[in-house]
Amino acid sequence: MRLPVNKKLLERYATSAPRYTSYPTAIDWVADSFEPLDYAQHLTNAANNSSAPLSVYIHIPFCAEMCLYCGCNVVITRREDRVERYLKQLETEFERVAETGIGRRQVHQYHWGGGTPTHLTCDQIRRVHAMFTKVFTLTDDAEVAIEVDPRVTNQEQLEVLAELGFNRISMGVQDFDPKVQEAVKRVQPKEITVGLVESARKLGIGSVNLDLIYGLPHQSRALFAETVKETIILRPERVALFHYAHVPWMKKHQTAMDMESAPSSEEKIEIFLDSVEAFQDAGYEYLGLDHFALPDDELAVALKNRTLHRNFMGYTTHAGTEMVSFGVSSIGEVDGCFVQNKPVEIDYLTALEGGGLAALRGHKMSGEDCLRRDIILGIMCNGYLDKQQIQERYGIDFDQHFAAQLKALVPMQDDGLVLLHPHAIELTSLGQMFMRNVAVQFDSYFAARQEQGKTGEGTFSKTL
């Protein structure tokens, strides 16, 4: 069923807002609340104060060439010595983190991101995984995931990944149309993607995610519908449908794209609505925001049970998990603190070669931060917030504490986006598309910026 989105709704709600992989968002971290030199102590505290399973993220930044739409922290290189220096210091980082004792806690979510992790050779893949297993132990039901590029990932690499226990694989497609691929400098024939998906499944890698992007040059409703059709034929367990974020003031390489040939704002909305309808008609569950999953996928089941969670790796079933992250620019969360490593490769390497860890900045969560985070995650993950649970957890009168926010939601209820129950806030099916607009009402940092005349334009991506 096509969602009833009209021009009036778009004019009112197609604004800019955070994606809330964390709250507060990284731009709002309070600098003097966290001292980078204390990161090791925070890890020690996390090791001593809990035995709950962890998440671990490893950032492999290398790519052989730059895709013009890319917004990730990447290093473009074909130099083996550069990769070798990075892996040596990544190993050093693991050794120093191990000294804190955090490795005594098991890991139930383990993810490699990039860049292109399969830029590494098979021996290097084994080496990085050995760094991890020397410190940490996986739970029996752990999610072990990796991002791959079909253009550079070969059969031998897949066999190594399967042997090491990787059970989820995510790959970028963006668009199957050759003209679009050429325009964004990512030529990836459909046959390569299809072959990689089939090979992964034959090797027992049981979950496949495909990433698509709309808003790129030369895309149209009709052409992108073909990409969605081809994606559905492949039947990935999960699909991410991202709105392209054009931020050339932050990512200079994006200036090389011909955005005059990109679809208009109105057509992009139609592309998105067409895609939501097509995936739902094909049996996928719309998780909200820009994600879809087959009904028996863990994410879809968690949504039904209202136990879905969100962190720096995206949607997950592991609520409340602390995360230890490794590599340049990586972001983790331990001991009530967010922490980010130095985002520039040479700074990351120099910090580790100098004898310390590579933390650059972070944020110590306040009680109010935690309260608002739980509200925002409830909305963003499950489309439902139990006000009574929040009141009991934090000892507040919800309606009194958030009177202004509830008042702001009344027009959204009138527009059919949200239902304001006496003891709960619930998104409608239409409201799932606008969940960021609902969640941002509880973001005190965003509100403070608005009071300063800052709208979020140019800082955060468009909600639609």
Determine contact, residues 122/89, Cβ cutoff 8 Å. no
Structural tokens at position 122: 């098979």
Cα 291 from Cα 417, distance rounded (Å):
18
Cα 193 from Cα 176, distance rounded (Å):
9
Write the CB contacts of 363 (distance below 8 Å, at least 6 apart in sequence): 24, 28, 29, 30, 33, 34, 337, 338
Q: Which of 172, 154, 54 is closest to 110 using CA atoms?
A: 54
| Beta-sheet pairing, 323-326 with 54-60 | parallel
Determine contact, residues 40/357, Cβ cutoff 8 Å. yes
Helix or strand (DSSP H, E) at 55 = strand 54-60
- Give the start-to-end residue ranges of the domains of the chain: 1-18+366-464, 29-326
User: Quick one: pLDDT at residue 457?
Assistant: 62
The SS3 call for residue 161 is helix
Torsion of CA 325, 439, 221, 187, to 10 degrees: -10
Look at phi and psi of residue 335 and say left if phi exceeds 0, alpha if psi is from -120 to 50, else beta: left
Give domain 29-326's CATH architecture.
Answer: Alpha-Beta Horseshoe (3.80)
Cα 235 from Cα 223, distance rounded (Å):
19
pLDDT lower than 70: segments of the chain:
1, 319-320, 455-459
Instruction: Determine the CATH number of domain 1-18+366-464.
Output: 1.10.10.920
How many residues in the chain? 464
Q: Which of 200, 172, 199, 177 is closest to 190 using CA atoms?
A: 177
Task: Quick: pLDDT tens for 305-331.
Answer: 998 888 887 888 876 689 999 999 999
**In 175-263, which ranges are E strands?**
207-214, 238-243
Q: Which of 210, 154, 218, 206 is closest to 182 using CA atoms?
A: 218
Q: Which of 411, 401, 461, 404 is closest to 436 using CA atoms?
A: 461
Cα 93 from Cα 87, distance rounded (Å):
10
Distances (CA, A) of 47 to 83, 326, 386: 31, 17, 31
